[in-house]
A and B are shown apart, each in its own frame.
Chain A
Amino acid sequence: MIEMLQTLIMWDAWPAGLQTLVVIMLKIVAILAPLMVAVAYYTYFERKVIGYMHVRIGPNRVGPRGWLQPIADAVKLMFKEIVIPSGADKKVFLIAPVLAMAPALAMWAVIPFNDTLVLADINASLLYVLAIGSMGVYGIILAGWASNSKYAFLGAMRSAAQMVSYEIAMGFALVVVLMAAGSLNLGDIVRAQQGDYGLFNWYWLPLLPMMVVYFISGVAETNRAPFDLAEGESEIVAGFHVDYSGTTFAVFFLAEYANMIIVGMLSALLFMGGWLSPFQGWTDSWLGQPSLFWLLAKASIFLFLFLWFRATFPRYRYDQLMRLGWKVFIPLTIVWLVLVGVAVMAGLEPWFGKA
């Protein structure tokens, strides 16, 4: 099939540089297309889950059981007018959503899907994730500034301060994972969690507080409830994207959901053993084998937690939010960093022994 296609388009006659580029582009499409479907249906799933948690049905009109709802939403947003406020800085106003979107997508380049399936197998992938992840704040602060609206400005200030505060706790939590795994490569971090004890070898057990800190920081980084002060619809209407409409808003929306899925994937990879099976050695069937299925299942659990939090917790006040980030998470992560450092020096089995 592939060979037939190759002869048909005279693949061998293409210049080598172009061949590499086309292969990379095809791989990127193979990541982005499922990602966009996942984002679309994650919004549907969110509305359904929160609906059922509120004892109502959620979207059920568009298509069977409302399955076409996200498609209808996307089409609607495309046909809406893009309003650029007269006081806005037009160029920055239009660049801001692109700057929010690009890092949310570019992070997927280094996410491994199983032992061998990864687009860019670089040795500093975790550093790359942290670096690119913090670029997202530019889109938000530029959007708030360019809108020239008080609500957008306040939302952007809040959001920027919140994101940088939680990034520190997140960074410390990642450093602790690095100490345990001894590698910056996400694939190697998962491989370091492999062992005779199955799921007790994964880092959730020795690094449990770090997993909690990482995930809660992830919720705060993506500006999701209960940390969605940037949105704060009762006080600042919708925060930084109050003046955005149509597809400019849709791009912010897509970026937010792509970021949430990234946080779910990274939590699964760093703490829950990624593609490793929790039933390793229990059974000879596919359930006992490491596979992409397990990675997606674990990420889905974390993604469900995002929705569960949103339905359960009331919004934090800003001082409570800053207190949690600076006065609870940072001291906790520093203490755990020292503890894990001692454990690594002592070679505590079964997690920290391997060199």
Chain B
Amino acid sequence: MLENYLPILVFVIVGLLFGTFFIVLGFILGPRKPDAEKLSAYECGFEAFEDARMKFDVRYYLVAILFIIFDLEIAFLFPWAVALREIGMFGFMAMMLFLGLLVIGFIYEWKKGALQWE
């Protein structure tokens, strides 16, 4: 079974090499005439007046945290969905209970305004 994964490993390596190859090709073929203006960060003609790594909205963190919860949930659902026919009514009801709990949490988030962008 495990030898089926060998092509995948090779493919990932080929994918990495492919991208690297292209970039190296660009360095070989392209000209290199840097100057201070060219190398400054693009800001529509203005000089950059502060560092770009600035403060950003906390909601991006919130989205990331909510994503982790839901993505774990999906990872949890995957094996259940495959085995649904074998585990029968008990397995089905157990997952429905779990989903119910998740939906309560989801409604709470919604009402709290965590999903609100204005």
A247 on the B face (CB < 8 A): yes
A105 surroundings in chain B (CB, below 8 A): 11, 14-15, 18
Determine whether the beta carbon of A178 is less than 8 Å from that of B82: yes
- Closest A residue by C-beta to B2: A122
> How many chain B residues touch A (Cβ–Cβ < 8 Å)?
66
Within 8 A of B (CB), among A6-32: 20-21, 24-25, 27-28, 32
Of the four ranges (under 10, 10 to 19, 20 to 34, 35 or more), the interface on chain A belongs to 35 or more
Distance in angstroms from B54 CB to nearest chain A CB is: 7
Residue picked from A83, A104, A152, most chain B C-beta under 10 Å:
A83
Given A109-B8, A168-B67, is A83 in contact with B38 using a C-beta cutoff of 8 Å? yes
Distance in angstroms from B33 CB to nearest chain A CB is: 7
Q: How far is the CA of A180 from the CA of B54 in the complex (A)?
A: 46
Given A106-B11, A151-B43, A243-B42, is A78 in contact with B25 using a C-beta cutoff of 8 Å? yes
- Closest A residue by C-beta to B118: A319
Determine whether the beta carbon of B60 is less than 8 Å from that of A83: no
Question: Scoring A residues 36 to 48 as 1 if CB is less than 8 Å from chain B, else 0, what string do you get?
Answer: 0000000000000
Within 8 A of A (CB), among B39-94: 39-44, 48, 51-54, 56, 60, 63-64, 66-67, 70-71, 74, 77-78, 81-82, 84-85, 89, 92
Determine whether the beta carbon of B74 is less than 8 Å from that of A247: no
Determine whether the beta carbon of A168 is less than 8 Å from that of B42: no
Given A24-B7, A171-B71, A184-B78, is A98 in contact with B20 using a C-beta cutoff of 8 Å? yes
Q: How far is the CA of A85 from the CA of B54 in the complex (A)?
A: 18
A128 surroundings in chain B (CB, below 8 A): 8
Determine whether the beta carbon of A243 is less than 8 Å from that of B6: no
Determine whether the beta carbon of A172 is less than 8 Å from that of B74: yes
Determine whether the beta carbon of A318 is less than 8 Å from that of B117: yes
Distance in angstroms from B32 CB to nearest chain A CB is: 6
B115 on the A face (CB < 8 A): yes
- Closest B residue by C-beta to A148: B52
B84 surroundings in chain A (CB, below 8 A): 179, 182, 341, 344-345
| Contact residues of A: prevailing secondary structure | helix
A182 surroundings in chain B (CB, below 8 A): 82, 84-85
Determine whether the beta carbon of B8 is less than 8 Å from that of A237: no
Within 8 A of B (CB), among A174-189: 174-176, 178-179, 182-184
B52 surroundings in chain A (CB, below 8 A): 87, 147-150, 152-153
A338 on the B face (CB < 8 A): yes
B22 surroundings in chain A (CB, below 8 A): 101, 247, 250-251, 254
Q: How far is the CA of A319 from the CA of B59 in the complex (A)?
A: 12
Distance in angstroms from A243 CB to nearest chain B CB is: 6
- A residues with CB within 8 A of B: 20-21, 24-25, 27-28, 32, 77-88, 94, 97-106, 108-110, 119-123, 127-128, 145, 147-153, 157, 160-161, 164-165, 167-168, 171-172, 174-176, 178-179, 182-184, 237, 242-243, 246-248, 250-251, 254-255, 318-319, 322-323, 326-327, 330-331, 334, 337-338, 341, 344-345, 355
